[in-house]
Structure 1
């Protein structure tokens, strides 16, 4: 029998103080090797209270780690003014994952390491709100990672949630202080979903009596996750006027799985469309381990994904853009023709009424049509060209070996990103080279790690713009979190076994520490395929591979899966001898640095002037990679005259800057995110980030600053590649207009800056806008211009390298 007694446990000051000491330690600079994680802090002033509150947020991929000090997604702390100890004042759930998303949400693990009862609650479709009390009985209402008014006060999730709390309390005749005190005495945070179409439409409708705050959790404010049962949550909801979420129990994993898979067939439950379910149970980390509260989710793909597609298409049409329809094409085209001046959900419901069908009926019809069409040579079986195989991998997985082998077997194109010279415009040049290769080959392997969402988004967008009928297939080297150490060992060993015979890393020439550092960086940044979200929803098919398996095994999987999905691409499967021959040729291939191979571009000119080298392997009968003629590198002419310095700057770790900016936008309303989204979609976010300390043009006005850095460079023998020092940079706040976005930064006294507003330029709207416009924009912002938007990034600190940049460098 389950224990439904209300849990209670007070905070341990020593435990919380140690947690705060550890989290604050990460704010001293970039991600520390002794902690292994990075946590962003932002401090808020709370209206009506003198007590400041800190919000803590890990980067999304960090939650898959095994060694975080807390896995709370939504953590707010303050210092008790009476005791001087730190307190957790608001706590969200531990980050929980979808079925099969991580190792711990695979059915086998769930069977072995969880126990009943399995409590199911509907996954409501709104914005998460946390409600708790401060030490002075001030009611604290937060959204996922923020609180209080934002750039648009009427659009702030926390502010709108607070209005709903006040409405509930007024009906009950209770005060905010009473509610805050009750929460604090129980040492809990009320976790609710703000569902109100008048505030923000999502996918499922909430209006009239359905709108409001749905209470789905009451969490103890502790570092380790502990929460109320659904029965206790319902009691709390009724006591304080929240809407109650439907819930029920399943006695074992088999009945749980049967129910979820049956409900997923229609994407509905109890006669209404739902997004899915959250399952609550007890779990242990290992056999014999301690049982603890644990959640996972089961999200329905359809018709929810179809509704989300319709929403995005509607918004795109309203803004004057061209909707991208990669799925449900026939019904979505009819929907767009039906479009009238309605809200997104009203429009969808009116259209379904017009069609006389439910969403689940449409999905069932489509499935039947797909089955019939595939039986008679359907859509995928018709595909015979314009296919791009995009690897999603890290270094040493064997993707290039597989790509070479595919070329050996079928004569398909192979474009290697590492063969494209120059840094400016390289992503676009990569797409151009793929497009060029598609004119000569039915299939092209896009050989790049593509290990992050933004790389895949750029690839799909740019190639689609050049070839609208392209089919994208993900060659996904799966990196389970619990196998990362084994994958690291296997891939490092593989790279060292190749010596200098590797396109990216010359393991025989570079130091072991250098090679391992590069490879760990890729592993740390790896973002696996997520077919439910953009851009990965743009892949027609995904072929999953094991990065520890040998390339011969993975090659056969790729070929057999392509044959299954696209039979016209491979009329006849290769023989075992064919596979062996192809792998042998691929493994014997010795790359020539910066030479064209299998359709890779050779020029470092701007993208509009790129000339494509003619590959020696134009047809299946052409010679293989191992027989390719070696090209002699051009003789370089040394220029003994030292180049003049253009500017001095602090060069920052690009991924940390990008993650900090992206995280700040995640919690904002769509209107605030518009320009950031535009920069990403148009590939206008800079690939590198730096703070200019002093530019050559500043020399007349700031001779002392220029001399300081020139003397420092001189003391290093004048070598422009020399690191002059390391500089800590605090990313303070973002500002942007319709042309340029920049982050204002704070520097230590050691590094003087000639600019009135030291900053990092994040991106510009188009190539005609130069980065130096950031200076003017920041000046106007400081002058109080109402045309400029801003967001705070207080507390995020990164460490960079101080260097000089020569003219033309």
Structure 2
């Protein structure tokens, strides 16, 4: 389940429209997840840390389980019988600073297992009401998780906002709330989270910064007070290294934070300011989804003039490793700016996913606002005419796409229109986008700039001063006079040899498809796949590798295939114009890796390819051919185990 505004189904308008009360807000304790279930027909109690058994977290959970049960004069067998009788799993939060510190402090009197949920063992979520969970906690001696019940979503939201503004609940900081309610029309349970930024995220940033400072690695401070903390903790690590011996084992985190806060107060700081750092530390990524010649850069420059926003142009990046350079440049801009405009068309879902993920990985409190030039309802010929007319009108005033540098600019625009992937908030690729400002590409820059200014000022009233009409006009005039300092000829750019040639799925969300497939199938084989997905990892976007440079060393066949793909026309974005029709037949999983087997890869126009990498078949239509892959079994990697490359 997801945090408020993390996905489309947890945005407040969706929640208001699609759910009903009662709304139960359960305090989100800050520890690690422990599960308890029954085995052997209710005779044996199984305690796990998420999916894992016989690990320190599960063993510590079992020790606390035994202690709580002893205090209530109960036995593990009695709890196992209860869970078996109700066909349920008990969900706990283990909070024990003597074992492992997290972010928020748990003194000795508050440590133990907090029972915060009981779920029926079923494919679909079936969770018990919090009042019943509390009765079970009292019966078996577990720590009770506090909860609050409201009839309407507005009442619950108002209460949660008050706790956010107070920075406390009953005198202590909390991580947030878990909300239980029901879906309209079905009464099926629905859950989401309300997580607080302050001080929780800032304290988490201090923990991660300290670990990087101990390891002599670069770090990033997003909150104003974090910079003072970094200066202080560097001195502490240098002068008192014994205090940080076990820091990477999550010991001493809270003690270090307390020492800094004492130091901060002794040097004139106000403790109340600590809980007001969130808004000052807020970062906003302005992510355009744009069409060629829509006025994207003009608006970026005007916003920079009006508000002092950071602005990074992808076209200014050297071709070598451009994507990573673009991401790094944006992060560097955030060191000095609260808002940064990521000036790139971002018309591919995969581009948006990698960018937003890279930024949020470093800046956990970053809010992503999409500025979306929508094509919906506009004839393609009108957008094409607009783009070609504006390109001819701007002449050579662009880094790459001009009539002189790109004589075939009309074809480039057509290809761009064909490849444009619209905003899709239902897709996991666009799931980190929290707000959308929709623009019409046919409108001029003045209309769209004013709309963006108005929307941003409405979204961030505490961070932005609304400019006057004269100031907006002056900023637009300044932006329109901009002349790029970097010029790159599209035809003359030398390209480095690719690391690999491959195919990227378009029009299907592989991760979402896989999740749905696993949710709707059961059995031992599917359980292995589910476990593999849970414990494995695969950070790269889904793709089919045709040949990799690593395979060419000492393998003549791989060299031949690689050289053949290298003979593809070396024109701008040629790979975006080549499509293949791929068919998958089954999932392969052995417990250490999982992949989707690709049965066929058919291209419509084989004239682009050297004969050595395409195969004709009597079953194929005219002009069609099968692509050749160096891999004996072409596949899309879905998940791999730890330590496996």
Name the TM tier (shorter chain).
Answer: 0.5 to 0.7
Question: Structure 1 pair 365/581, CA: closer, same or farther in 2 (3 Å)?
Answer: closer
Q: Which secondary structure does the structure 2 equivalent of 1:265 belong to?
A: helix
1:477 Cα offset (Å): 1.5
Q: 1:344 Cα shift?
A: 0.5
Q: C-alpha separation between the residues in 1 aligned to 2:333 and 2:2?
A: 42
Q: Summarize deviations over 1:269-306 as a string: whole Å, max 9, x none.
A: 1111211223333452xxxx344433343333222233
How many pairs were matched up?
536
Q: Is the 8 A contact 1:391 1:448 kept in 2?
A: no
1:474-553 matched pairs, under 5 angstroms: 476-477=369-370, 490=376, 497-498=383-384, 501=388, 509-510=414-415, 514-515=418-419, 525-529=429-433, 545-546=437-438, 552-553=446-447
> Using a 3 Å threshold, how does the CA distance of structure 1 residues 567 and 723 change in structure 2: closer, same or farther?
closer
Matched, 1:305 2:209: no
Deviations 1:708-759 (A, max 9, x none): x79x99xx9xxx9899995869686899xxxxxxx79797899999899999
Cα distance in 2, alignment partners of residues 431 and 647 from structure 1: 20
Given the superposition, is the C-alpha separation of residues 127 and 394 from structure 1 closer, same or farther in structure 2, using an over 3 Å criterion? farther
Q: Is the contact made by 1:492 and 1:519 (CA closer than 8 Å) also made in structure 2?
A: no
One of 263, 273, 288 as aligned partner of 2:173 = 273
Return the offset for 1:232: 0.6
Q: Aligned pair 1:349/2:254, yes or no? A: no
Residues 223-302 of structure 1 correspond to what in structure 2 (within 5 A)?
Answer: 223-250=123-150, 252-253=152-153, 255-284=155-184, 289-302=185-198
1:320 partnered with 2:221: no
**Runs (5+) with no aligned partner, structure 1:** 1-94, 372-378, 381-387, 465-471, 480-486, 531-542, 587-595, 605-632, 637-644, 736-742, 763-777, 779-788, 794-809
Task: State yes or no: 1:598 paired with 2:480.
Answer: no
Q: Secondary structure at the match of 2:255?
A: helix
Equivalence map 1:128-139=2 (5 Å): 128-133=33-38, 137=42, 139=45
Residue 217 of structure 1: how far off its partner (Å): 1.0
Answering whether residue 30 of structure 2 is matched by residue 125 of structure 1, we say yes
- Say whether the 8 Å CA contact 2:284–2:367 is kept in structure 1: yes
- Which of residues 690, 696, 700 in structure 1 aligns to 2:545? 690
| Larger helix fraction of residues | 2
Q: Describe how 1:4-15 pairs up with structure 2 within 5 A.
A: none
- The offset of 1:233, in angstroms, is 0.2
Whether contact under 8 Å (1:121, 1:279) holds in the other structure is yes
What is the alpha-carbon distance in structure 1 between the residues aligned to residue 60 and residue 7 of structure 2? 34
Partner residue of 2:297? Answer: 403
Q: 2:229 aligns with which of 321, 332, 353?
A: 332
C-alpha separation between the residues in 2 aligned to 1:117 and 1:141? 31
Q: Deviations over 1:557-607 (max 9, x none)?
A: 444658988889x99754787799899x79xxxxxxxxx983455279xxx
Tell me how far apart the structure 1 counterparts of residues 326 and 277 of structure 2 sit (CA, whole Å). Answer: 39
For the 8 Å contact 1:734–1:791, the answer to whether it is kept is: no
Q: CA offsets per residue over residues 628-649 of structure 1, 9 Å max, x none?
A: xxxxx5699xxxxxxxx99997
Matched, 1:394 2:261: no
Counterpart CA distance in 2 for 1:547 and 1:454 is: 23
Provide closer, same or farther for how the CA distance between residues 759 and 523 of structure 1 changes in structure 2, counting only shifts above 3 A: closer
- Alignment check: 8 A CA contact 1:730 1:746 kept: yes
> Following the alignment from structure 2 to structure 1, what is the Cα–Cα distance between the partners of residues 200 and 150?
24
Please, what TM-score do these two structures have when normalized by structure 1?
Answer: 0.51
1:333–1:351: structure 2 CA closer, same or farther, 3 Å change rule? same
Deviation (angstroms), 1:526: 1.4
- Which of 205, 215, 223 is the aligned partner of 2:105? 205
Deviation of the 1:148 alpha carbon: 3.2
Residues 185, 355 of structure 1: CA spacing in aligned structure 2 closer, same or farther, 3 A cutoff? same
How far off its partner does 1:425 sit?
0.8
Q: 1:353 to 1:597 in 2, by over 3 A?
A: closer
Contact 1:201/1:344, CA 8 A, preserved across alignment? yes
Q: Partner residue of 2:3?
A: 97
Query: Are the counterparts in 2 of residues 692 and 753 from structure 1 also a CA contact under 8 Å?
Result: yes
Superposition TM-score, scaled by structure 2 size = 0.61
The change in CA–CA distance for 1:199 and 1:650 in structure 2 (over 3 A counts) is farther
Matches within 5 A, 1:148-163: 148=53, 153-154=55-56, 157-158=57-58, 160-163=60-63
Residue 449 of structure 2 corresponds to: 555
Alignment correspondent of 2:114: 214
Q: 1:183 to 1:455 in 2, by over 3 A?
A: same
Cα gap change, 1:511/1:210 in structure 2, threshold over 3 Å: closer, same or farther?
closer
Report if the CA contact (8 A) 1:414-1:600 is conserved. no
Distance 2:277 2:161 in 1: 18
Q: How does 1:754-769 map to 2 (within 5 A)?
A: none
Specify whether residues 505 and 527 from structure 1 end up closer, same or farther in structure 2 by C-alpha distance, changes over 3 A only: farther
Tell me how far apart the structure 1 counterparts of residues 77 and 366 of structure 2 sit (CA, whole Å).
56
Kindly state the Cα deviation for residue 348 of structure 1 after the two structures are TM-superposed: 1.9
CA contact (8 A) 1:421 1:603 kept: no
Name the counterpart of 1:28: none
Could you give the per-residue CA deviations for residues 85-138 of structure 1, whole angstroms, max 9, x where no partner exists? xxxxxxxxxx2432x555665556656665554433211112223333357556
Tell me, in whole angstroms, the C-alpha distance in 2 between the residues paired with 1:270 and 1:559.
40
Q: Report the Cα distance in structure 1 between the residues aligned to 2:149 and 2:493, rounded to whole angstroms.
A: 74
CA–CA distance in 2 between the matches of 1:308 and 1:322?
16
Q: Does 1:790 align with 2:642?
A: yes
Distance 1:518 1:581, change over 3 A: same
8 Å CA contact 1:692, 1:758 repeated in 2: no
What whole-Å deviation, never above 9, does each CA across 1:9-55 have from its counterpart, x for those lacking one?
Answer: xxxxxxxxxxxxxxxxxxxxxxxxxxxxxxxxxxxxxxxxxxxxxxx
User: Contact 2:352–2:429 at 8 Å: present in 1 too?
Assistant: yes
Superposition CA RMSD, Å: 6.2
1:447 offset after TM fit, Å? 1.2
- 1:203: how far off? 0.7
* 1:142 to partner: Cα distance: 4.6
